[in-house]
């Protein structure tokens, strides 16, 4: 089709000029907390200077002494008032930041991902007030990027967080698990395998349901269904205790594993269990490999709410 | 371990709150007087030094209070990890330390109520939560709402249905966070099941909304909530819902564990009192999915 272009109209935006939403590099940079303003030191120093001059002047004449005492009182009042106003303002802004984080967490939990993404874009586009909430916001950013299947971007955020978080806390372990899961989703199987070996070395790794799920997924993904079934068999009590309704993930992967070894009756039962705990679309969204089972096995449908 | 008794913890908490309030008042009055002395040309006393001393005392006490708060902040994660003895030690230290600010003291006492709840010491948990909620000036919402939830749950366990109702009614007027809404739903279902209000447990048009919340709960809570709803579905003759909810519950937790907690749930699993106590019909034994 032949179209004429009006030169007075500005060109249509292209990918090069549209800011990419949830760009991890950009949001990591922009959200860095701003250094504390130097004005606080100026105010404190000036007040101290006034008091010192006042004290010196007061020692020179009794008239000045009275005046300087009044001035000193006013300076103290101003300082106290200023500090109170500053503390109140800082506390209010911190409170708002934490409230925003709580909202984002709830939106992610409720699977309202686009809204969570908008909140994160807004929150991380400006310097955040403190380090802790910023790290938490970045954890949420990686979760949202995973929901959008932007595994490479999610890994960028996870790497940044792991570089800046110390120790073997539960948060660090969860991040490493999520990073390994992203590697598997991206088919970076060697990296994922190495990450799983590292995770196994962490304390209490035997008691990690998340790690068991990761190993099951790796085995399914790499065509080792028998190993996946073995891990599942051994770790089912742990998975049940720790995963809640995300146990659906393990059952879905089991369905796939049993299907791969040709045990269709067990695959069908596992598929029913998976879809009893979570909607089919959700399970397939997380594990595209399970999509091939849809239609071949019966999903457990929820009764009508009427 | 020789831990503070509930009564002494509450009386210490009240005493510390009063002491903190008096100290804050004394420091503020002292500061106002010192500034007043400086502003008044007729007096010959210089208030600068007393003002500096007051400021110094305030900073030191604030620092000690913050240290106590940090100590208290570790307790919930210890309770969640099941390290109850370690949590008890933390809470005791936090309760015994001085705090200039009432929110720190309230948080420590709330953690003690949480710990007693985890230890299934319902009476103690209820007493502590009630003491927190009876404060003349209500505390911050992040303490009062969870305290109200704890109180409702503890009273249910103690069989005090009117008391539980009052707590639930107070909470229903509040705006709850997602976590609080999940806990509220679980306590509400428990309460309604004891009242045998089966219809409201399976309210038409709100099932999916409730299930969305339940799916976010930790395993045991999700299983119990769905088992309670399955019982309600049986009672009102909704077999489709009963079967579906029962299947979900037993995939998460063994039926005998649920029945041990709430014996009336045996109606959902009539065969659970069998020889081996297992009623997990839909959960295949490990390694043989699909059987049963």
Query: Of B113, B128, B144, which one is at a domain's C-terminal end?
Result: B144
Q: Are A161 and A28 in contact (CB under 8 A)?
A: no
Q: CB B215 to CB A233 under 8 A?
A: no
- Same structural domain, B127 and B205: no
Nearest to A241 among B219, B284, B288 (CB): B219
Three-state DSSP class for residue B200: helix
Q: Is the ipTM of this complex over 0.90?
A: no
Q: What is the pLDDT of residue B242?
A: 95
Three-state DSSP class for residue A18: coil
Mean pLDDT of chain A: 87
At A128, phi and psi to the nearest 5?
A: -85, 165
Q: Calculate the alpha carbon distances from A160 to A25, A187, A191, A214 in Å.
A: 10, 21, 17, 22
Instruction: Give me the total of CB pairs closer than 8 Å, taking one residue from chain A and one from chain B.
Output: 110
Q: CB A234 to CB B251 under 8 A?
A: no
Query: CA-based angle B246:B208:A142, to the nearest 5?
Result: 100
Q: Which domain holds residue B98?
A: 6-144
- A44-83 tens-digit pLDDT: 788 778 777 777 776 777 777 777 777 777 777 787 788 7
How far, in Å, CA of A147 to CA of B42, rounded? 72
- Same structural domain, B11 and B133: yes
- Same structural domain, B203 and B90: no
Consecutive H or E run containing B111: helix B102-118
Residue B167 lies in a domain: no
Query: Of B144, B177, B204, which one is at a domain's C-terminal end?
Result: B144
Q: What is the pLDDT of residue B43?
A: 72
- Same structural domain, B128 and B232: no
Per-residue pLDDT of chain B (292 residues; tens, 9 = 90+): 456 788 999 999 999 989 988 999 999 999 888 878 877 767 777 777 888 888 888 888 888 888 777 777 788 888 888 889 999 988 988 888 888 888 888 999 999 999 999 999 999 999 999 999 988 776 788 889 999 999 999 999 999 999 999 999 999 999 999 999 999 999 999 999 999 999 999 988 889 999 999 999 999 999 999 999 999 999 999 999 999 999 999 999 999 999 999 999 999 998 875 433 333 332 333 333 333 2
Residue B267 lies in a domain: yes
Closest residue, chain B, to A70 (C-alpha): B39
Q: Mutate which of A297, A301, A305 to test chain B, going by most B C-beta atoms within 10 A?
A: A305
- Same structural domain, B93 and B203: no
- Same structural domain, B12 and B124: yes
- Same structural domain, B139 and B21: yes
> Which residue, among B277, B278, B285, has the nearest Cα to A234 in the 3D structure?
B285
Tell me how close the Cα of B11 comes to any Cα of chain A, in angstroms.
31
Q: CB B289 to CB A106 under 8 A?
A: no
Residues of A in contact with B282 (CB under 8 A): 273, 276
Q: pLDDT band for position A92 (50/70/90)?
A: confident
Residues of A in contact with B219 (CB under 8 A): 240-244, 247
Q: Mutate which of A204, A256, A269, A293 to test chain B, going by most B C-beta atoms within 10 A?
A: A269
Q: Which residue has the higher pLDDT, A15 or A305?
A: A305
> Which range, A36-45, A67-76, A297-306, is most confident?
A297-306
- Same structural domain, B138 and B15: yes
DSSP string, A104-151: HHHHHHTT-HHHHHHHHHHHHTS--S-HHHHHHHHHHHHHHHHHTT-H
Query: Of B83, B111, B144, which one is at a domain's C-terminal end?
Result: B144
Q: Mutate which of B290, B291, B292 to test chain A, going by most A C-beta atoms within 10 A?
A: B290
Q: What is the pLDDT of residue B281?
A: 31
Could you tell me how many residues make up chain B?
292
Closest residue, chain B, to A240 (C-alpha): B252
Q: pLDDT band for position A11 (50/70/90)?
A: very low
Residue B173 lies in a domain: no
For tokens 């230890």, the residue is: B119
Q: In percent, how much of chain A has pLDDT > 90?
A: 61
Closest residue, chain A, to B242 (C-alpha): A303
Residue B172 lies in a domain: no
- A139-155 tens-digit pLDDT: 999 999 999 999 999 99
Nearest to A303 among B178, B215, B240 (CB): B240
Burial class (CB in 10 A: 0-12, 13-18, 19+), B157: middle
- B92-121 tens-digit pLDDT: 888 888 888 888 889 999 999 999 999 999
- Same structural domain, B201 and B113: no
Domain count, chain B: 2
Residue B153 lies in a domain: no
Burial class (CB in 10 A: 0-12, 13-18, 19+), B257: middle
Residue B210 lies in a domain: yes
- Same structural domain, B43 and B127: yes
Q: pLDDT band for position A196 (50/70/90)?
A: very high
Q: Mutate which of B56, B289, B291 to test chain A, going by most A C-beta atoms within 10 A?
A: B289
Q: CB B205 to CB A229 under 8 A?
A: no
- Same structural domain, B16 and B129: yes
Residue A2 confidence (pLDDT) above 80: no
Q: How many CB atoms lie within 10 A of CB B227?
A: 27
Nearest to B244 among A51, A229, A302 (CB): A302
Residue B243 lies in a domain: yes
Q: Which residues pair with A294 in a beta bridge?
A: A297
Residues of B in contact with A109 (CB under 8 A): 178, 216
- Same structural domain, B136 and B246: no
Residue B126 lies in a domain: yes
Residues of B in contact with A169 (CB under 8 A): none
Residue A12 confidence (pLDDT) above 60: no
Q: Which residues pair with A297 in a beta bridge?
A: A294
Residue A28 confidence (pLDDT) above 90: yes
Q: Calculate the alpha carbon distances from B257 to A273, B189, B249 in Å.
A: 20, 18, 11
Q: What is the pLDDT of residue B292?
A: 29
């Amino acid at each position: 089709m032949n179209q004429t272009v009006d030169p007075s109209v500005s060109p249509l935006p292209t990918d090069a000029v549209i800011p990419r939403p949830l760009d991890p590099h950009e949001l990591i940079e922009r959200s860095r907390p701003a250094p504390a303003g130097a004005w606080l030191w100026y105010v404190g120093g000036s007040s101290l200077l006034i008091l010192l001059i006042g004290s010196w002047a007061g020692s020179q004449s009794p008239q000045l002494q009275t005046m300087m005492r009044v001035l000193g009182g006013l300076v103290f009042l101003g300082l106290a008032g200023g500090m109170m106003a500053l503390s109140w303002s800082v506390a209010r802004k911190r409170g708002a930041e934490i409230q925003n984080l709580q909202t984002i967490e709830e939106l992610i939990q409720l699977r309202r991902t686009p809204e969570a993404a908008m909140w994160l874009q807004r929150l991380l586009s400006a310097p955040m007030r403190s380090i802790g909430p910023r790290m938490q916001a970045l954890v949420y950013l990686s979760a949202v990027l995973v929901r959008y299947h932007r595994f490479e971007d999610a890994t960028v955020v996870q790497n940044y967080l792991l570089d800046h978080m110390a120790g073997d806390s539960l948060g660090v372990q969860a991040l490493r698990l999520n990073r390994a899961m992203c590697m598997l989703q991206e088919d970076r199987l060697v990296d994922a395998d190495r990450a799983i070996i590292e995770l196994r070395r962490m304390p209490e790794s035997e008691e990690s349901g998340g790690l068991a799920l990761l190993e099951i997924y790796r085995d399914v993904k790499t065509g080792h269904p028998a190993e996946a079934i073995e891990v599942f068999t051994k770790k089912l009590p742990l998975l049940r205790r720790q995963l809640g309704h995300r146990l659906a993930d393990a059952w879905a992967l089991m369905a796939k594993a049993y299907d791969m070894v040709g045990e269709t009756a067990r695959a069908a039962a596992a598929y029913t269990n998976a879809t009893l705990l979570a909607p089919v679309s959700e399970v397939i969204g997380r594990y595209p490999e399970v999509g091939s089972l849809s239609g071949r096995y019966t999903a457990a449908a929820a009764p009508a709410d009427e | 371990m020789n831990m503070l008794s509930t009564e002494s913890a509450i009386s210490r908490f009240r005493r510390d709150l009063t002491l903190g309030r008096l100290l804050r008042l004394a420091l503020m009055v002292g500061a106002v007087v010192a500034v007043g002395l400086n502003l008044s040309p007729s007096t010959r006393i210089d208030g600068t030094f007393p003002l500096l001393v007051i400021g110094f005392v305030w900073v030191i006490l604030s620092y000690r209070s913050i240290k106590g708060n940090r100590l208290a902040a570790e307790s919930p994660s210890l309770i969640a990890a099941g390290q109850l003895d370690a949590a008890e030690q933390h809470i005791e230290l936090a309760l015994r330390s001085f705090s200039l600010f009432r929110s720190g003291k309230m948080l420590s006492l709330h953690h003690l109520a949480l710990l007693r709840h985890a230890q299934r010491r319902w009476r103690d948990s209820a007493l502590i939560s009630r003491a927190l909620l009876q404060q003349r000036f209500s505390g911050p919402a992040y303490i009062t709402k969870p305290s109200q939830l704890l109180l409702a749950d503890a009273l249910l366990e103690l069989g005090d249905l009117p008391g539980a109702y009052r707590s639930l009614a107070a909470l229903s007027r509040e705006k709850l966070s997602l976590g609080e809404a999940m806990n509220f739903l679980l306590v509400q279902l428990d309460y309604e099941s004891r009242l045998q209000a089966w219809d409201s447990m399976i309210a038409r048009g709100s099932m999916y909304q409730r299930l969305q919340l339940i799916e976010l709960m930790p395993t045991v809570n999700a299983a119990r909530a769905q088992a309670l709803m399955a019982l309600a579905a049986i009672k009102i003759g909704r077999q489709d819902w009963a079967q579906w909810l029962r299947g979900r519950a037993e995939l998460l937790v063994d039926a005998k564990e649920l029945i041990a907690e709430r014996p009336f749930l045996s109606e959902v699993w009539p065969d659970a009192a069998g020889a081996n106590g297992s009623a997990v019909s839909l959960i295949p034994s490990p390694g043989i999915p699909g059987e049963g």
